[in-house]
Amino acid sequence: MVLRSRRRSFRQRVEIWSLPKAGSTPRRLSVGRPASLTTESTGLRYNFTPPIPNPPSSTYQHTTNPNTKAMRLAIFSTLALVAVAAAVTSPLKSVIVSYPDNTPDSVLNQAKNAIKTAGGIITHEYQLIKGFAANAPAKALETVSTLNTEYLATVEEDQMVSVNNAL
């Protein structure tokens, strides 16, 4: 006899086959759970132990494929590296962009759109002067300063200004 084990739906099943004689095909004698195939019931000298019963649903622990864990780790680390690289490559500078008084509004709007397209933020639009404050990448500031040759933009770093008593 030949013993062959199959695993189906979390329960172990055992098949017992007869050894074929020359020219004959093997025959399946019985199929069952290992608990039913003891020495007393089959006359076999092998004693099978029953599988561990399924734990109750409250204590069941889900096991995942090790490849799934590795894939999750790879995805998480890749996303973390991309986020760090994006933060390092484009630091935003806080600036004030101003134009001469005779500059048309279309030139200002063009500069604002260039900053927004590059990922910058317009933080304030001034009313007394033709200009605005923004947080923008350095590359966008270069673009704004060379955008129009007739009306040149003045790009200054936004910083605190104080008045001293020294006159």
| pLDDT digits 0-9 by tens, 123-150 | 999 999 999 999 998 888 898 988 888 9
Distances (CA, A) of 66 to 7, 9, 100: 20, 20, 65
- Mean pLDDT taken over the chain: 74
Domain hosting 121: range is: 90-157
- Residue 57 in domain: no
- Residue 105 in domain: yes
- Residue 81 in domain: no
H or E stretch covering 109: helix 105-117
- Residue 127 in domain: yes
- Residue 12 in domain: yes
- Residue 128 in domain: yes
Residues 94 and 153 in one domain: yes
- Residue 84 in domain: no
The better pLDDT of the pair 166, 74 is held by 74
C-alpha triplet 50, 55, 58: angle, nearest 5°? 175
Full strand arrangement of the beta sheet holding 121-125:
121-125, 130-137, 92-99, 154-157
The pLDDT of 45-51, averaged and rounded, is 53
* pLDDT for residue 42 is more than 80: no
Predicted local distance difference test score (pLDDT) of residue 128: 92
Based on the structure, what is the number of domains in the chain?
A: 2
**CATH number of the domain encompassing residue 106:** 3.30.70.80
The better pLDDT of the pair 44, 74 is held by 74
The better pLDDT of the pair 47, 90 is held by 90
Q: Which of 92, 155, 95 is nearest to 119 (CA)?
A: 92
pLDDT in tens, 60-70: 555 656 677 78
The answer to whether the beta carbons of residues 35 and 46 sit under 8 Å apart is no
- Residue 113 in domain: yes
